[in-house]
Homo-oligomer: A and B are copies of this chain.
Amino acid sequence: MPVETFKATAHLQKGMVVKARSRNFEVTIDEPKNLGGTDEGMNPVELVLCALGACQAIVARVYARQFDVNLEDFWVETEGNLDTDGFMNKSDVRRGYSDIRYNIHIKTDAPRERVEEFVAFIERTCPVGDTIQNPVNVKLNEIIIEA
């Protein structure tokens, strides 16, 4: 079974700054000033949009040849709506994104019809897209109170 286990840690620093690591890579996360942070990095919900666009771009790279779509350039613009009253605990709205939309920019000489088939394939093959779009079983395993 090719079920892989991916891992990360997120360590709270001063204020809302978080250093998150996966393997030997680190990313600094913070909130902008209007959400109470010190603006040292993108915030977690922006990072989710980055992960989605990056995942689509990687799927594009992997399958472009198979769809006979040359990629002279490829980028994704992503945006999502989130009612911050949820996070502020001021209302019963859902806490996360309700809607995420994206535009795919592609520089290619492949005909539009083939590009559309290719993009439809990217949509249904992107792991982060599936993770966001469909329910995932997210569970607290353990609370460890450190001495």
A107's nearest neighbour on chain B, judged by CB, is B146
Contact residues in B for A99 (Cβ distance below 8 Å): 136-139
Task: Give the interface size bracket for A toward B.
Answer: 35 or more
Contact residues in B for A57 (Cβ distance below 8 Å): 10-12, 18
Contact residues in B for A104 (Cβ distance below 8 Å): 140, 142-144
Given contacts A97-B131, A123-B140, contact A84 B4 (CB under 8 A): yes
Shortest Cβ gap from A95 to chain B (Å): 4
Q: Tell me whether chain A's interface is mostly helix, strand or loop, or mixed.
A: mixed
Given contacts A4-B84, A145-B106, contact A77 B16 (CB under 8 A): no
Let me know if A105 and B146 touch, CB within 8 A: yes
In the complex the two chains form, what is the Cα distance from A97 to B81 in whole Å?
Answer: 22
User: What per-residue 1/0 map shows which CB atoms of A26-66 lie under 8 Å from chain B?
Assistant: 01010110001100011111111111111111111111000
A40's nearest neighbour on chain B, judged by CB, is B25
**A-B contact list, 17 entries, CB within 8 Å:** A8-B49, A10-B78, A11-B75, A20-B54, A43-B58, A44-B51, A44-B58, A51-B51, A52-B138, A86-B125, A86-B127, A87-B125, A95-B124, A95-B130, A104-B142, A106-B143, A107-B146
If A6-B82, A123-B140 are given as contacts, then 7 extra A-B residue pairs at C-beta distance below 8 Å, sorted by A number, are A4-B82, A18-B54, A25-B42, A45-B128, A48-B131, A97-B127, A102-B141
